[in-house]
Amino acid sequence: MELQIAISRYVVGCVLEEQADMAGSEDRAALDVAAESHPNLAKALALYRANGHDALFEAGLELLIGGAEAGKISSVTAQTASSAGECIISRP
């Protein structure tokens, strides 16, 4: 259930970002100027604009699902170890 909620929120966020990206060139230029003093933000904007909404949406969705699958595996491993009296520390 948590994954469904997370995906739903992710989809809504992506739609809002796509709509916000339809801003005029004046707004885009102001954002670029503001990002100049924040290198990571500038890189993120460049990546976002170069790859487009669809590609980044798909990549993010794969990360959500893959993370959920990895978490499920870690959870099962921890439960199995716990029931066997072992202590396992899993790291991403």
* Residue 45 contacts residue 31 (beta carbons within 8 Å): yes
Read off the pTM: 0.60
| pLDDT in single tens digits along all 92 residues of the chain | 888 999 999 999 999 988 877 767 778 888 889 999 999 999 988 888 898 889 999 999 999 999 998 887 665 555 555 555 554 444 44
CA distance 24 to 16: 16
Residue 43 in tokens: 């890189």
- Cα distances from 29 to residues 12, 39, 46, in angstroms, run 25, 16, 13
